[in-house]
Amino acid sequence: MAAKTDPTEDTAIDDTATDGRVLRGQRNREAIVDAMVAMFEQGNLRPTAAQVAETAGLSTRSVYHHFNDMKSLALEVTSRSEARMRPPDFTAMSNVALNERICMFVEHRFDRWRQTSAVVRAGLLAEYDSHIVAELLSLGREARIQEVRTVFADAVTGTDEEAVFAALDVVFGYDTWHRLIDVREIEGATAENLVAKMAHALI
């Protein structure tokens, strides 16, 4: 006589197998994104799918299983980098005395550019090939200048307010950080003091 079986057992096994595949897929996707970031940090701003796959320890086919193309992967990396940043409360920062406020904001921006430099460089290159990346970067630039407006609204007055905010945006921006830190190789604290002085001169 055949032994009776519980019909829920097969379902439980199937669910476990499905959960395992889902988790493995999530891990592989994360590994691909991490590998792309690693390639950026190594100076390869346009890695091939094969290079990313090798760094991730996966197959090239796996890269294209999770992402339609390399532009989609670059977009995911850019979005993930932005999402991982935890910006300070800029409204609260605006209530601090101006001198301290400038120093706090410079420190915040320097931390941001240090953490995201490799991804930013790759994004700047990819925006000419992908309108989606270009749009994402444009939204980011608008968010950055809005931060400047929020923090320094009370300190910037007069008919040329927008010009001053635009200039402050440049002073606090990635390009300024890159020129001082990467190109001129100025020590971090010295570079921060220089940027703070430039901001003071504008305000």
Euclidean distance between CA atoms 64 and 48, whole angstroms:
11
Per residue in 15-46, pLDDT tens?
A: 565 677 889 999 999 999 999 999 998 989 88
Using a pLDDT cut of 90, give the percent of the chain over it: 63
Rounded distance, CA 35 to CA 203, Å?
A: 42
State which of 4-13, 92-101, 133-142 shows the largest mean pLDDT. 92-101
Residues sharing a CB contact under 8 Å with residue 124, sequence separation 6 or more, in sequence order: 137
Task: Write down the pTM of the prediction.
Answer: 0.80
Average pLDDT, the chain: 89
Buried b (16+ CB within 10 A) or exposed e, 77-113: bbeebbeeeeeeebeebbeeeeeebbbbbbebbbebb
Both tokens assigned to 92: 């609260």
Residue 13 has pLDDT above 80, yes or no: no
What domains lie within the chain, and their CATH numbers?
9-67 (1.10.10), 87-202 (no CATH)
Reported residue count of the chain is 203
